[in-house]
Amino acid sequence: MVNKNIKIEVEPIGKRFFLDKPTNGLKAIINTGIGIKTVCGGKGTCGKCRIVILNGKVNPPNEQEQKILGTDEIAHGVRLACQQIFDKDLSIYIPASSLSEEQKLQVAGIEKKVKIDPVCRKYFIKLKKATLEDIKADFNRIKGSLKKKNGIEVDSIDYKVLAEMPSVIRNNSWEITVTVRGKEIILIEGGDKTKNAVGIAIDLGTTKIAVLLVDMLTGKTIDRKGIMNPQISYGEDVMSRINFAIQSRDNTAEIQRVVVDSINKTIHELCNQNNLDESKIIEMTIVGNTAMHHLFLGLPVRQLGLSPFLPLTNEVLNIKAREIGINISQGAYVYMLPPIAGFVGSDHIAMILATDLYKLDGNCLGIDIGTNTEIALKNKSYIASVSAASGPAFEGAHIRYGMRAAPGAIERVIIDSRTYIPSIQTISDRDPIGICGSGILDSIAELLKAGIIDRRGKFKPENSYVYKDSKGVFQYILNPSFYKNGNNKDENISINQKDIVEIQLAKSAIRSGIGILLEDAGIEFKEISKVVIAGAFGSYIDPRNVINIGMFPKISLSKISQVGNAAGVGAKMVLVSLKERKIAEKIAHRTRYLEITVFPDFFNLFAKNTQFPDPDEII
Amino acid sequence: MVNKNIKIEVEPIGKRFFLDKPTNGLKAIINTGIGIKTVCGGKGTCGKCRIVILNGKVNPPNEQEQKILGTDEIAHGVRLACQQIFDKDLSIYIPASSLSEEQKLQVAGIEKKVKIDPVCRKYFIKLKKATLEDIKADFNRIKGSLKKKNGIEVDSIDYKVLAEMPSVIRNNSWEITVTVRGKEIILIEGGDKTKNAVGIAIDLGTTKIAVLLVDMLTGKTIDRKGIMNPQISYGEDVMSRINFAIQSRDNTAEIQRVVVDSINKTIHELCNQNNLDESKIIEMTIVGNTAMHHLFLGLPVRQLGLSPFLPLTNEVLNIKAREIGINISQGAYVYMLPPIAGFVGSDHIAMILATDLYKLDGNCLGIDIGTNTEIALKNKSYIASVSAASGPAFEGAHIRYGMRAAPGAIERVIIDSRTYIPSIQTISDRDPIGICGSGILDSIAELLKAGIIDRRGKFKPENSYVYKDSKGVFQYILNPSFYKNGNNKDENISINQKDIVEIQLAKSAIRSGIGILLEDAGIEFKEISKVVIAGAFGSYIDPRNVINIGMFPKISLSKISQVGNAAGVGAKMVLVSLKERKIAEKIAHRTRYLEITVFPDFFNLFAKNTQFPDPDEII
């Protein structure tokens, strides 16, 4: 039945995979190394391997798919990968939440087709050699040629590039390639280098830094690398780092240096692996939250740690890379989109840009879940944003068995509503050693669905699978082996009452943030036509469970899209397109920041939203 | 006869002196400390104390003045200071050539009244304190206030200033002074500092560096200091320094460092002496020859030392002072007017600006005599400039008894045409130890006038005061004591045949440069309506003798003006006035450089011009 010549284009996260020898269903996809996994092992019962058939004929859903998928999902081409038989050319989209752990640490965003219009352009010039009869200065010779041959006006040259210029010209027989940014010459190379124009786009996260090496002529990501933010050694969270930095100028310099060093090292490695020379990189863009933005620049952050939590600037910065210590081309700039507020950074602008949120029809929400969850509401007249202090529970912190999304972390949980016995999936299929964010979210949703906890988040002690630990705290044990072997309950991984409270606080913060945005705009949630969930964590979570724990009000799943690391995509868009850069700057100026804590109703709203939804609202 | 309440304003070099209790004649002026000296000791026979009566009734010339001064001089108000009787309010101008040595090392230029319109402006701002209800970022708060209260648009802030901003704002009760350059904030200070706006203007010479501390609100020079260029230890002349610099990048860096360090030290001293803080200096301008320009910036100079002697750029540079290592305000710029060619630097543009040459009526010449003598011809349609390789003879080099203008140097010489005995004046009235430039020029002119040498520069051995030295070279001895005591002639200071040849070569280079400019413009020298002689050396020389040795063709002395260090004045003008800066940039673009060595007739012209004028042309 399988046509061996079939070609399947898979677009998981901006990368295209071609299957030369596809086999059927899930296995075909697994064979590509993309790594879709399921909890049910291909039986079609867990629903974790949702994909979207982008083109080619979509088969009608089979019985299992009809059971698992919503009608709107089916209508939108959503299917379970494990149930597909690929018999013709297909292009499929794999939501990040359907990806297995290979992609976990470096989840990329869905890339948009952007018209390439980079801020730096290269021109190959053959200069007339100077003689006593023709004694124009080197720079003016270049300037004249650019104007005459290319119609380009330049008025300045980077001072360090000026110093390199005469030897580059004379060592290359007066044939050079000039890189122009605005009206400034920022690089001069020997020979024709117009085919090599490389830039760097960075998403500078509190935990992770994604570094993209980008071909500025094609917009293609040549390579990428995700690294841990080395500032973690000064504190996992933003506030600890701010507290470290404000102790002295030396500390501010030190915490800057480690991140700059780390980025330099990564750029060097990426260049090395791709036979490129970092000293020829002509532009860098960086997005990140406001604290990361300031700490990267060595800017003071005292005012960022104290009410009213002000950034130093809401404007774009164009800074010579060498001034910050970034080792790329001598004349290159680092372009930084502006922070919107103390807790809404330029990564948020990049997300709004990359997800098209700013130009979608109707009322749309864009959400990036993290320790601070930034939420943007775009309506007819404006974009407003809030920051909800959701805390680190979704990152595994403040949760007894919480952990980062590392091998051995429980990432998917299903509780059988008849037997109350859990099925779990761990990262890398290791024995479970803890629970990561998506696993915690699944657990809570499944506990609710199975009726093991009530709307207020309390365990129902009458349930036979609720145990007290040695300290008398109620818990639900997640290890399936426990249910087989009846291990000592204290040695098992569990969700306890305190963990549930943490999640209640976290999800209430987000739900309340949404509530205030809606109230401010004078609209109701049902008027929302689209919810875009961005960010790595947001990509792994099951959107159904997001609704089931009440982080959002009930909404058709077809209106939710998970877009992965949209901030990184945005950073790349402003790297390769001046037009997108202008749009991003407009978004930055247009976005109104709302400080939710000053809303009179905030604390009532917050208390109310700690409740879980009615069991009959669960989908 | 003398009215004790009389007030005399003396404007020697941009400074005004007031005489409270003037006495008569030369003595009155000497008492002010201005220091006019004569060779004749006040007899009115040497003509060295020429002054110009600017306003007040000018007395008719006395007999002595009629003998010494030309009729055109007399008509223009030129008088001999030693013959004046001051009996009413007078304002007088003292040409630099009439000044004694106190001014010698730091001769300033004649300052022009410039409308103050500095590139940096200061604004005092009272900011509204940020609250949770008003969470604009600090920079945007400033930006908004500048726009609303001052109508000023800013779009960026220096990255280092941004880092200082929050503490300056918060330590000063949200009352700050902001310095804006273009659309950039370059300094933020606490409190109202709008009355303090200080800049630095520098004339960076091969030998001397003049550093001016300037009040940018009034245009007043607060203080000035002249220092030796420390690069002298790498070679007295430009070519030796170029040869040192091109040997390695370290050398280039080293020769830059010494001059930057020296300038920093001088700025620090000037600030210290005037209770100012160099970290609040908001702008610096520098002019200098092309090699000094490049070496100051650490730019490569190899191409500057080799034909066709190209500078790297003919454009203005605006460079952050900190990038070069200049210790002024963190965000301040160094503004550098462009070089015109390898041997015509930005000091030449500054001279054309400061002397008004660019807008004078008719055909005018501007000349700055030095090792390279830059000459500009301004006519109806354009300005053209040449560089004449006049060599260091006028600086005392290559002259047997030549020396710099230091105490003990013979600076004025008169030879009695009856007795052939010289009268001399030395700097600081010390015993003579050598001859400086103006003394050499005087000697040659007087030797010609007395008929001791002929038109070809040859000593007439029949003259009883021409001696051979021990090597058989003809010489004329300058020490008057020799003529009294008959000392051993080898121990005396003299001008010998070789010295005369050096001066012939030097003056021919200049005369030929003028010739080529005239030929190129298709005009004759008699069509020249004004000759402006700039530069320290040009200020001390006797213009009469410049004509008498044939450096210029014969011209009415009233058409010659000596303006002192016009380059330094120009540097200051572009510091305090944006309008003058624009004019200077236009001059730079408008000035055509002529390479004299490529003119087919150059070498014939040069040979011809080594001759001295006909004795009957001597004035």
Dump the DSSP string for B403-452. Answer: --S-TTEEEEEEE-TTT--EEEEEGGGPPP-EE-HHHHHHHHHHHHHTTS
Could you tell me if residue A346 is left (phi over 0), alpha (psi between -120 and 50 degrees) or otherwise beta?
A: alpha
Q: Do B159 and A323 touch (CB under 8 A)?
A: yes
The 3-state DSSP class for residue A147 equals helix
Q: Name the phi and psi angles at A264, rounded to 5.
A: -60, -45
pLDDT digits (tens, 9 = 90+) for A398-440: 888 988 777 888 988 999 888 888 989 888 778 888 998 889 9
What's the gap in Å between the CA of A116 and the closest CA on chain B?
A: 26
d(CA A195, CA B461): 77
- Measure the N-to-C terminal CA separation of chain B; round to a whole number of Å: 36
Q: Please tell me which residue of chain B has the smallest CA distance to A170.
A: B303
- For an interface test with A, the pick among B312, B317, B323 (most A C-beta atoms closer than 10 Å) comes out as B312
Enumerate the residues of chain B whose CB falls inside 8 A of the CB of residue A157. Answer: 313, 315
Q: Please tell me which residue of chain A has the smallest CA distance to B142.
A: A313
Average pLDDT value for residue range A216-239? 89
pLDDT digits (tens, 9 = 90+) for B483-507: 887 666 556 899 999 999 999 999 9
The 3-state DSSP class for residue A613 equals coil
Structure tokens at B204: 């960076």
- In chain B, % of residues over pLDDT 90: 57
User: Band of the pLDDT at B103, cuts 50, 70, 90?
Assistant: very low
Average pLDDT value for residue range A202-224? 92
Largest CA distance in chain B: 100
**Whether residue B23 has pLDDT greater than 50:** no
What's the gap in Å between the CA of B249 and the closest CA on chain A?
A: 11
Q: Do A302 and B130 touch (CB under 8 A)?
A: no
d(CA B463, CA B457): 14
**Whether residue A86 has pLDDT greater than 80:** no
β-bridge partners, B467: B475
pLDDT digits (tens, 9 = 90+) for B327-343: 999 999 999 999 999 99
pLDDT digits (tens, 9 = 90+) for B343-393: 999 999 999 999 999 999 999 999 998 888 999 999 988 999 999 988 888
Flag whether residue B381 sits within 8 Å of chain A, measured between CB atoms. no
What's the gap in Å between the CA of A288 and the closest CA on chain B?
A: 17
Average pLDDT value for residue range B97-124? 69
State the alpha helices, DSSP H only, in B198-286.
238-245, 249-273
Q: Do B323 and A159 touch (CB under 8 A)?
A: yes
- A with B: how many residue pairs have Cβ under 8 Å apart? 136
Which is higher by pLDDT, B163 or A40?
A: B163
Average pLDDT value for residue range A482-494? 74
**Whether residue A321 has pLDDT greater than 70:** yes
- ipTM score assigned to the predicted complex: 0.79
Which is higher by pLDDT, A93 or B421?
A: B421
Enumerate the residues of chain A whose CB falls inside 8 A of the CB of residue B303. Answer: 138, 166, 170
**Whether residue A335 has pLDDT greater than 80:** yes
The Cβ-side half-sphere exposure at A564, using a 13 Å CA radius, reads: 26
- The residue type at B14: G
- In chain B, % of residues over pLDDT 70: 87
Q: Do B302 and A166 touch (CB under 8 A)?
A: yes
pTM: 0.81
User: Band of the pLDDT at A579, cuts 50, 70, 90?
Assistant: very high
DSSP code, position A12: S
Lowest mean pLDDT among A8-12, A505-509, A520-524, B435-439: A8-12
- For an interface test with B, the pick among A147, A158, A303 (most B C-beta atoms closer than 10 Å) comes out as A303
User: Which of B390, B380, B351 minimizes the C-alpha distance to B584?
Assistant: B351
Flag whether residue B253 sits within 8 Å of chain A, measured between CB atoms. no
- Measure the N-to-C terminal CA separation of chain A; round to a whole number of Å: 36
Q: Do B170 and A303 touch (CB under 8 A)?
A: yes
Sign of CA dihedral B97, B100, B104, B110: negative
User: Band of the pLDDT at B190, cuts 50, 70, 90?
Assistant: very high
d(CA A60, CA B566): 89
CB contacts under 8 A, B 276-315 vs A, are 297-300, 302-303, 307-315
User: Which of B458, B383, B473, B396 minimizes the C-alpha distance to B427?
Assistant: B396
User: Band of the pLDDT at B248, cuts 50, 70, 90?
Assistant: very high
Check if the beta carbon of residue B422 is closer than 8 Å to that of residue B442: no
d(CA B409, CA B392): 16
Lowest mean pLDDT among A456-465, B72-81, B214-223, B570-579: B72-81
Q: Do B132 and A595 touch (CB under 8 A)?
A: yes
What pLDDT does B87 receive? 58
Largest CA distance in chain A: 100
Q: Which residues contact B254 (CB under 8 A, 6 or more apart)?
A: none
d(CA B139, CA B156): 9
Size of chain B in residues: 619
What pLDDT does A178 receive? 98
- The residue type at B616: D
What's the gap in Å between the CA of A489 and the closest CA on chain B?
A: 48
Check if the beta carbon of residue A477 is closer than 8 Å to that of residue A494: yes
**Whether residue B242 has pLDDT greater than 70:** yes
What pLDDT does A481 receive? 83
CB contacts under 8 A, B 137-156 vs A, are 137-140, 143, 155-156
pLDDT digits (tens, 9 = 90+) for A104-133: 444 455 667 789 999 999 999 999 998 888
What's the gap in Å between the CA of B314 and the closest CA on chain A?
A: 6
Enumerate the residues of chain B whose CB falls inside 8 A of the CB of residue A306. Answer: none
Average pLDDT value for residue range B414-435? 87
Lowest mean pLDDT among A53-62, B3-12, B40-49, B541-550: B3-12
What pLDDT does A29 receive? 52
Enumerate the residues of chain B whose CB falls inside 8 A of the CB of residue A319. Answer: 159
**Whether residue B469 has pLDDT greater than 90:** no
d(CA A513, CA A373): 9
What pLDDT does A94 receive? 67
Flag whether residue A171 sits within 8 Å of chain B, measured between CB atoms. no
Q: Which residues contact A204 (CB under 8 A, 6 or more apart)?
A: A229, A259, A286, A287, A288, A292, A293, A296, A347
What pLDDT does B40 receive? 67
CB contacts under 8 A, B 24-83 vs A, are none
Across chain B, mean pLDDT equals 86
d(CA A128, CA B251): 30
Enumerate the residues of chain B whose CB falls inside 8 A of the CB of residue A156. Answer: 315, 317-318
Which is higher by pLDDT, B182 or A208?
A: B182
The 3-state DSSP class for residue A79 equals strand
User: Band of the pLDDT at B616, cuts 50, 70, 90?
Assistant: confident
**Whether residue A27 has pLDDT greater than 70:** no
d(CA B242, CA A430): 69
Average pLDDT value for residue range B578-601? 93
Enumerate the residues of chain A whose CB falls inside 8 A of the CB of residue B137. Answer: 310-314, 339
Helix, strand, coil share of chain A (percent; to 5): 40, 25, 40
**Whether residue B561 has pLDDT greater than 50:** yes
Most confident of A170-184, A547-561, B405-419: A170-184
The 3-state DSSP class for residue A308 equals coil
User: Band of the pLDDT at A346, cuts 50, 70, 90?
Assistant: very high
Check if the beta carbon of residue A365 is closer than 8 Å to that of residue A584: no
Average pLDDT value for residue range A556-574? 90
User: Band of the pLDDT at B12, cuts 50, 70, 90?
Assistant: very low
What's the gap in Å between the CA of B305 and the closest CA on chain A?
A: 13
Average pLDDT value for residue range B452-460? 93
d(CA B31, CA A69): 106
Structure tokens at A414: 């299903």
Q: Do A314 and B155 touch (CB under 8 A)?
A: no
Q: Do A300 and B167 touch (CB under 8 A)?
A: yes
Check if the beta carbon of residue B5 is closer than 8 Å to that of residue B87: no
What pLDDT does A576 receive? 96
